[in-house]
Chains A and B, each alone.
Chain A
Amino acid sequence: MLRHLFTLIWNRKRANFLLITEIFLAFVILFVVGSTLVYSQQNYRTPLGFDYEQVWQVDLDPGMQPRAQRAATQRQVIQRLKSLPGVRFVARSSSNTPFSGNSNRSDLRRTKESGGAYVNGNFYYVEDAMRDVLAPHLIEGRWFDKRDDASTRQPVIITQETREKLFPGESPLGKIIPNGDQEMQVVGVAGTYRASGDLSEPRAAAFLRVSPQDTSFEHLETLLVRVQPGAGAALEKRMTTEILAIGKGWSSNITPLAEQRAAQLKLIVTPLVALVVVCVFLIINVALGLFGVLWQTINQRRTEIGLRRALGASARAISAQIVGEILVVSTFGLALGLLVAAQFPLLGVLGVKTSVYLTAMLLATALIYTLTAVCALYPSWLAAGIHPAVALREE
C-alpha cells in the first residue's frame, strides 16, 4: 500500500506541487526557528559558571577628580565598603562584568614552537577576591593568591573552552602564553564562564590577575560586591552615602547582578517570543491551507473513493489512505527541506553545534508530520463517510 501511495502522489506531483512547496517552506521556517530555540535552550541549560546571587555591581564615576588621585580614592572606598555590616567581599573588575553586555576580546596565541594554536577570547581583569565574590568554578590548578605577587609573568586562569583550543590533550598548568612583549603563565583552569548571559554560548575566556599593588584606575572602575543574604535598599543607600563621602564629586550606580540578569534576559527573550508568535501564526496559516486543500480534494475525489470502497476498501482503509497520502506528500516536502537544512551542519554555518541543527531537524520533521496528520483527520473522516453507491453514480 505504501508503494501504491508513493506511486499515486508521484503521478500527481503537478497537482501536489503547491502542497509540497508549502510543506517545504513550513519546514524551513520551523527549522530556522527551531534551531534558534534549541540553541538558546541548550545554552540556558548550561551552568553560568559563577554565583551571581547576592552580588552587586558598583559602577564608579570619579567625575572631574584628577586622574592621579582616583586610584587612592577607590582604595579608600573599597576599604570603607568592606567594613560595612552586610558586605562580605569586594573586588575590582574590568567593565565586562556578568550580564553587562560589555566585552574585552583579544587573541590568546601559543608560541610557534608549541604549535601556534590560538583562540579569540574574552579577557576578564579581576582581583584575588573575585573568587569569593563570584565563586567561579575551578576545575584544575588554583585561583590567584599572594604567591603570584612575586611572579615575573602575568598569572592567568583560562576557561575549559580556552584549554580545549590551546592545550588539547595536555595539561595547561605552568604553560606560557605570549601576550605582546610580556608573557602569561597559566595557574589554573576554570569551568565554563558565561558572563555574557544565560543564552550565550560557552566561549573561550581568560581571567587576568590584577595585583593589589596595581594602582591603575582606568579599566578597573567597576566593583563587584558580595553582600549578606537579605541585604537590601538600606545597605545600598549606605554604600552610596559612603562612596559620596569619600570621593568628592564622585557618583555611583549600584545594581544587583540578579536585576541585570533579568533585564538582559528580557531584552533577549522578547524578540525570541515575537519570532515564535510569528512562527505559530504562519503554521496556523499553513494548517488552515492544508485543511482547505484536503477538504476540496476529498470533494473532487468522491468517485475514486466510491470506487475504492466498491473494490474492497473499508471505511477505515479509506481514512488511513487519506492520512497516508498527506504524510507521503509531507515526505516529499520534508525531503527537500532536509536537503536544505543538512547544508547548515555540513558547511558549519554560524559555528553552531551539529547537535543543535539535528535536534531542530527532528523537531521540525515531527511537527510537520503531526500537523499534516492532524489536518488530514477531519477530511479523512469525511472521506470514510462517503457512500460508495452514491459516489459512483455522481460524475
Chain B
Amino acid sequence: MLQLTDIEKVYQTKTIETVALNRVNLTINKGEFVSVMGPSGCGKSTLLSIMGLLDEPSGGILELDGRPVKSYSDKELAHLRNQKIGFVFQSYHLINDLSVLDNVELPLLYRAGVGGKERRQRAHAALDKVGLSARTTHFPSQLSGGQRQRVAIARALAGRPEIILADEPTGNLDSVMGEEIMDLLLGLHRHDGTTIVMVTHDEQQAQKTERLIRFFDGSQVA
C-alpha cells in the first residue's frame, strides 16, 4: 500500500544541516497495524508527515498504491490525503469553535459529491463507532482528553480512509484513557481491517501491534 524507498529528509538552514531521515526503506501492507518507536527527535513524526503526504522527502521514492507521489500537484496531493489518509494527532487538533459533529464532518467538506445529509450521516456513524453519539452537540472544551481523542479518531474514520496515521495518539492521555484509545484502534484494525501506522513512545502499546519498527537518529534500526 505504502512503499518507501531510500527516503531521506534533510532540514537545511544557513549554518546547519539536520538529517531527519536517512535512507529509509519501508513497506506498509494493506490491513497492517504498524507501530513506530524511537527516542524524541529520531524522525518518527517526520516519517509520518511524509507518509501522510504533508511533507516532501529530500530524496527517495514514496509510492502510494504502486504510484510515486512526487509528480502530484498540490491539488492532487490534497485529494489523496482526503480520500486515502486519516490523521490522528497527539494533541487532537480539534477546532474549538466547532461542535463535535462539525469537527467530524470536516474531511468530508473537502470531498466533492458528498452532500450535507450524507456528511451528517457519516459523521454520526463515525461518532457511534467511537462511542460518542451522545456528544454530537458538545464542543471540544466540554470533553475530556480521552473523549477529544475519540472525536479525532471519528474524524479520521468519517472519510473512510484506507490508512490511518496516528502520531502518538495516547501521548497526552493518562494510562486508563490511553488504553481506551489503544483498544479503539485495535478494534478498528481487527473488525474493519483498517491499516494503521502509529508512532508511540509506549513499549506496551507498541507490542500490541502486528509489527514494530524502531528508529534511531533518522534510520530504521529494527
Chain A positions within 8 Å of B, measured between CB atoms, are 1, 3-4, 7-8, 11-12, 303-304, 306-317, 387-389, 392-393, 395
Q: How far is the CA of A389 from the CA of B54 in the complex (A)?
A: 5
Q: Which of A8, A12, A314, A315 counts the most chain B CB atoms within 10 A?
A: A314
Show 15 A/B contacts (Cβ-Cβ < 8 Å), sorted by A: A4-B102, A7-B98, A7-B102, A303-B93, A306-B93, A309-B54, A309-B81, A310-B87, A311-B81, A311-B87, A311-B106, A315-B78, A388-B54, A389-B54, A393-B45
* CB nearest to A4 among chain B residues: B109
Known A315-B74, A316-B75; judge A310-B54 contact (CB<8 A): yes
Identity of the chain B residue whose Cβ is nearest the Cβ of A11 in the assembled complex = B97
Contact A312 B110, beta carbon cutoff 8 Å? yes
**Chain A residue contacts of B183, Cβ below 8 A:** none
> How many residues of B are counted as interface, with CB atoms below 8 angstroms from the partner's CB atoms?
30
Q: How far is the CA of A172 from the CA of B45 in the complex (A)?
A: 90
Residues on the B chain within 8 Å of A312, using CB? 78-79, 81-83, 107, 110-111, 159
Instruction: Please indicate the chain B residues that have their CB under 8 angstroms from the CB of A8 in the complex.
Output: 95, 97-98
Residue of A11, A312, A389, A393 ringed by the most chain B CB atoms within 10 A: A312
Q: Are A309 and B93 in contact (CB under 8 A)?
A: no
Once A12-B97, A392-B93 are accepted as A-B contacts, the answer to whether A3 and B116 lie under 8 Å apart by CB is yes
Q: Which residues of A contact B106 (CB under 8 A)?
A: 307-308, 311
Taking CB atoms, residues of chain A closer than 8 Å to B81 are 309-312
- Tell me if B179 is interfacial: C-beta within 8 Å of chain A: no
Q: How many A-B residue pairs have CB under 8 A?
A: 72
Q: Known A303-B93, A304-B95; judge A314-B116 contact (CB<8 A).
A: no
Query: What is the CA–CA distance of A279 and B100 in the complex, to the nearest angstrom?
Result: 44
Contacts of A12 in B (CB 8 A): 97
Contact A314 B78, beta carbon cutoff 8 Å: yes
B residues apposed to A, CB below 8 Å:
45-46, 49, 52, 54-55, 74-75, 78-79, 81-83, 87, 89, 91, 93, 95, 97-98, 102, 105-107, 109-111, 116, 155, 159
Q: Closest chain B residue to A8 by CB distance? A: B97
Contacts of A7 in B (CB 8 A): 98, 102
User: A392 to chain B: which residues have CB within 8 Å?
Assistant: 49, 54, 89, 93
The main secondary structure of chain A at its interface with chain B is helix
**Closest CB-CB distance, B39 to chain A, in whole Å?**
17
B48 and chain A: residue at smallest CB distance: A389
Q: Is the CB of A311 within 8 A of B110?
A: yes
Chain B residues with CB under 8 Å of A316's CB are: 74-75
CB within 8 Å for A311 and B97 given contacts A7-B102, A316-B75, A389-B49: no
Closest chain-A Cβ to B12's Cβ sits at a distance in Å of 14
Residue of A nearest to B94 (CB): A307
**A307 and B78 form a contact (CB under 8 A):** no
Residue of B nearest to A314 (CB): B78
Chain B residues with CB under 8 Å of A309's CB are 54, 78, 81
Query: What's the minimum C-beta distance from B101 to chain A, rounded to whole angstroms?
Result: 10
A7 to B95, CA, bound (A): 12
Please name all residues of chain B whose beta carbon is closer than 8 Å to the beta carbon of A393 when the two chains form the complex: 45
CB distance from A329 to the nearest CB of B (A): 13
In the bound complex, residues from chain B placing their C-beta under 8 Å from that of A314 are 74-75, 78-79, 110
Known: A315-B74, A389-B55. A1 touches B97 (CB 8 A): no
Q: How far is the CB of B73 from chain A (nearest CB, A)?
A: 9
B161, chain A: closest CB distance, angstroms: 10
For A4, the chain B residues whose CB sits under 8 A away are 102, 105, 109
In the complex, besides A8-B98, A308-B106, A311-B110, 10 extra interface pairs with C-beta distance below 8 angstroms are A4-B102, A4-B105, A307-B106, A311-B82, A312-B78, A312-B111, A314-B75, A387-B55, A392-B89, A393-B45
User: Which of A3, A11, A307, A315 meets B93, CB within 8 Å?
Assistant: A307
Q: Are the CB atoms of A1 and B75 closer together than 8 Å?
A: no
Q: How far is the CB of A222 from chain B (nearest CB, A)?
A: 71
Report the nearest B residue to A315, measured CB to CB. B74
| Complexed CA–CA distance, A241 and B144 (Å) | 101
The answer to whether A313 touches B78, judged by C-beta atoms less than 8 angstroms apart, is yes
With A313-B78, A314-B75, A395-B91 known as contacts, the answer to whether A1 contacts B49 (CB < 8 A) is no
- Of all A-B residue pairs in the complex, the 4 with the closest CB atoms, nearest first, are A312-B82, A312-B110, A314-B78, A389-B55
In the bound complex, what is the Cα–Cα distance between A303 and B97 (angstroms)? Answer: 14
Alpha-carbon distance A7/B55, docked complex (angstroms): 30
A317-B110 in contact given A311-B82, A312-B78, A312-B81 (Cβ < 8 Å): yes
A229 and B54 CA atoms in complex are apart in Å by: 80
* Cβ of B20 to closest chain A Cβ, rounded Å: 11
Most buried by A among B46, B107, B155: B107
B105 — which chain A residues lie within 8 A by C-beta?
4
